[in-house]
Amino acid sequence: MKWRCTTSVERTRLVLWLALVGLIVFIPQRAHAYAGPGAGFAVLSSFWTLFVAFLYSVYAFFVWPFRQLFRVLRRRKAYGKAQIKRAVILGFDGMDPELTERFIAEGRLPNLAKLREQGTFRKLRTTFPAISPVAWSTFLTGVNPGKHNIYDFLARDLSNYLPYLSSAEIKGPKRSLKIGKYTVPLGGPRIKGMRRGTPFWHWLGEAGIFCSVIRVPVTFPPEKFPGVLLSGMCVPDLKGSQGTFCLCTTRASGDKFREGGVRVPIERVGSIFRSYVPGPEDPLTPGSGDELRVNFEIHPAKDQARFIVDSQRFTLKVGEYSEWIPVKFKAGVGFSAHGICRFYLKELSPEVEVYVTPVNIDPGRPDLPISHPVTYSIYLAKLFGPYATLGLAEDTWALNEHVLDDDAFLAQCYANHDDRERMLFDALEKTQQGLCACVFDTTDRVQHMFWRYLDEDHPAARDVPRDQRPTVIQDLYVRMDELIGRVMKQIDDRTLLMIVSDHGFKSFARCVNLNAWLHQNGYLALKPGKTESGDWFDDVDWSRTRAYTMGLNGLYLNVKGREREGIVEPGGDADGLKDELRRKLDGLVDSASGRVGITGVFDCDAVYAGPYVDNAPDLIVGYGDGFRASWDSVMGKVTSEIFEDNLKAWSGDHCIDPRLVPGVLFCNRKIADEKPAIVDVAPTVLKLFGLALPRYLDGKPWSVGTSVAPSVAPATTP
């Protein structure tokens, strides 16, 4: 008889002994296997991870030469004629050239100052109109709006004069099964991108140049191309809206929020409070208005409260945000929607109020595609944790409605911004060759909401003494400059660094209700007895209306045969009406301030060219510095006043005369062109990578210096 391992009994015992030995000598696999399921899972999953990783790496090693060979054979050898190894494009939505110059002159932006000094700084001509989705669509396609079909956030439905989102259309599943009062969807939602044109990274990817594209606006739904992309502006929330926050409150109020939010009651049950987060429509009862909900409890204790949301438990102090909390909206067996949201405890006494962000699509379990490939959003979520996926992630509506205060809004903005920075630096690391493009929205949102403190006499901040006004926008620019400095440390001489913004910024102190002007001047008629309309032209008499406006800058004629109840004959009559409106509106003066409210009205037939011009407004209205379309006018409402003060926190804007709000262009190389435009970015990058330019592009490539100034290195903040 052997005394070691002779029988299976002996082997079993040896295993037991090895379990302990393994523990002692820090080779825990065997020990784990016999220390219960927890450790067993750990060992098994670790082994599996390593095994899969090994397979992938072997696969990548062996396949890579063949892929390269394949490229060469198809004459797609990347970088063959490239002047640069890598292009890094940082988009700062709304970064204003005048403010930038001012802060540079004050010595607050050392990195941008260095780029200006040793590379290039220019004002970047924007699009007509100067609206982010329009300008960024032009940026990424290199064509004018007549070719990419985006003219505003909203477009109008010719059959009913109602708006719809211009960038994407989301419909229910193609097929469904009706069972009694329930409708069982057979398949996922259908998403159709409305933006036309081809993003320039598509051409780069096809040529074998890797691209990482992060949060560039109007990239939802994500299009396939050889690279990675995370969609930006225009990604909806889980309700399908562009962001609907929720205020849970014990305060009784029948008021509805004008924009972007819902009020939900909190019920007191003994010592605890109960409420819910409203979610998407119940897919089993479409059209019924039934919504899915996630219930939560609040257990208050002094100045803090414990929250229970599904199986999640967390504690918040008053004035504190939670992390992103995953929420699962269930609709019967097998149907659920996964979202994430953050809770903000506004008040605990005497009333209880909790703000909940719009429910974002969970990037780790996306129910709608928000990246290409789909795994890219999951990859980022696993690497950095959950992050905001909503296109307009910074909740400007909540600040406008006084649901959030300045500090809470800023905290939200910069939390999102920090996530974006992490994504950028990961993309920089992963893209040592190719294109890395990332757009930051913080600049736009913060300027929109805090311009009132910058303006001498903004109506929304008249009660705040000048010496007590926070330097939010100045701080914002300093922070962006620091970010640019950190990026400059990551790049080498063969990397092109370009900093662009889609437009600048101006004060929005006075509102212009163009529908009111059209009404008062006989172009728009209301039903008998009405002096004002409701939203979306409720009470407008279309049979006597020749022109109307909705959205931010578009003015439409009510053309016969085009609009459902059009009365203006196309051709000569329409052209004559356009001329008449241009003549009367151009130079329109605000009698209260004595300033010009409209500095230009542009005929779309003259400023656009392309197959989608028919979808454009008939005229683009260019508001003057300090003016913008009124909140009511944007929503198709006719009021009695044409001009009025803007009292909202949303106090800066750019949806004005595009000539007044150019963007910025900084580059670490010399650019000879004196008047660059945002439409030129795409052809310039394609040319720098040595690619032939598609003929349909409207932009012209710039003359870019062949080498970077050696001293363009990051500066330190004074």
Partner 1 sequence: MDSLGVNVPAFIVVGISIVVGLLMVVVFRYTSDQRAIHVAKDHLKAHLLALRLFQDQIPVVLRSYGRILLATGRYLRLAFMPLLFVIVPLTFLIVQLDRYLGMTPIEAGHSFLVSARVADAAALTEASLQLPDGLVTTAPAVHISAENEIVWRVISARDGDYVVNVQASAQTFSKRVVVGSGLPRLSPLRLRGRFRERFFHSAEPALPENTLIEAIAVQYPARNIAFAGFEWNWIWLFFVLSLVAGFLFKSILGIEI
Question: Does 300 interact with partner 1 (rule: CB under 8 A)?
Answer: no
Planar angle of CA 144, 145, 151, nearest 5 degrees:
150
Whole-angstrom distance, CA of residue 635 vs CA of residue 539: 14
Closer of 61 and 467 to partner 1 (Cβ):
61
Question: Does 369 interact with partner 1 (rule: CB under 8 A)?
Answer: no
Query: Least CB distance from residue 386 to partner 1, whole Å?
Result: 10
Question: Does 1 interact with partner 1 (rule: CB under 8 A)?
Answer: yes
Question: Does 315 interact with partner 1 (rule: CB under 8 A)?
Answer: no
Stretch that binds partner 1, among 55-63, 290-298, 402-410, 501-509 (CB under 8 A): 55-63
Stretch that binds partner 1, among 17-25, 271-279, 285-293, 571-579 (CB under 8 A): 17-25
Whole-angstrom distance, CA of residue 279 vs CA of residue 605: 42
Whole-angstrom distance, CA of residue 612 vs CA of residue 445: 30
Question: Does 159 interact with partner 1 (rule: CB under 8 A)?
Answer: no
Stretch that binds partner 1, among 56-64, 159-167, 239-247, 254-262 (CB under 8 A): 56-64
Question: Does 5 interact with partner 1 (rule: CB under 8 A)?
Answer: no
Q: Are 300 and 273 a contacting pair, CB within 8 Å?
A: yes
Query: Least CB distance from residue 306 to partner 1, whole Å?
Result: 17
**Tokens (6 digits) for 224:** 């396939």
Question: Does 288 interact with partner 1 (rule: CB under 8 A)?
Answer: no
Burial of 562 (0-12, 13-18, 19+ CB in 10 A): middle
Whole-angstrom distance, CA of residue 641 vs CA of residue 520: 9
Closer of 22 and 622 to partner 1 (Cβ):
22
**Contact with partner 1 (CB under 8 A) among 5, 15, 589, 672:** 15
Phi (first) and psi of residue 477, to 5 degrees: -65, -40
Question: Does 43 interact with partner 1 (rule: CB under 8 A)?
Answer: yes
**Contact with partner 1 (CB under 8 A) among 81, 224, 268, 430:** 430
Query: Least CB distance from residue 488 to partner 1, whole Å?
Result: 21
Question: Does 31 interact with partner 1 (rule: CB under 8 A)?
Answer: yes
Please, which residues have CB within 8 angstroms of residue 207's CB and are 6 or more apart in sequence? 76, 78, 689, 691
- Cα dihedral 237, 240, 241, 242 sign: positive
Neighbours of 315 (CB within 10 A): 13
Closer of 34 and 321 to partner 1 (Cβ):
34
* Alpha-carbon distance values, 665 to 94, 266, 670, 676, 677 (Å): 12, 49, 11, 8, 9
Question: Does 60 interact with partner 1 (rule: CB under 8 A)?
Answer: yes
Residues 370-399 that bind partner 1 (CB under 8 A): 373, 375-376, 378-383, 385
- Interface with partner 1 (CB under 8 A), residue total 60
**Contact with partner 1 (CB under 8 A) among 228, 368, 525, 649:** 228
Query: Least CB distance from residue 691 to partner 1, whole Å?
Result: 18
Burial of 647 (0-12, 13-18, 19+ CB in 10 A): middle
* Type of residue numbered 383: L
**Contact with partner 1 (CB under 8 A) among 5, 30, 57, 309:** 57
Stretch that binds partner 1, among 37-45, 102-110, 449-457, 461-469 (CB under 8 A): 37-45
Question: Does 266 interact with partner 1 (rule: CB under 8 A)?
Answer: no
Whole-angstrom distance, CA of residue 172 vs CA of residue 109: 49
Please, which residues have CB within 8 angstroms of residue 45's CB and are 6 or more apart in sequence? none
Question: Does 50 interact with partner 1 (rule: CB under 8 A)?
Answer: yes
* Type of residue numbered 574: A
Question: Does 589 interact with partner 1 (rule: CB under 8 A)?
Answer: no
* Alpha-carbon distance values, 682 to 144, 209, 408, 511 (Å): 12, 14, 37, 35
Question: Does 23 interact with partner 1 (rule: CB under 8 A)?
Answer: yes
Question: Does 49 interact with partner 1 (rule: CB under 8 A)?
Answer: yes
Query: Least CB distance from residue 393 to partner 1, whole Å?
Result: 21
Whole-angstrom distance, CA of residue 386 vs CA of residue 384: 7
Residues in contact with partner 1 by CB under 8 A are 1, 3, 7-9, 12-13, 15-17, 19-20, 23, 28, 31-46, 49-50, 52-54, 56-57, 59-61, 63-64, 67, 210, 228, 311, 373, 375-376, 378-383, 385, 429-430, 432-433
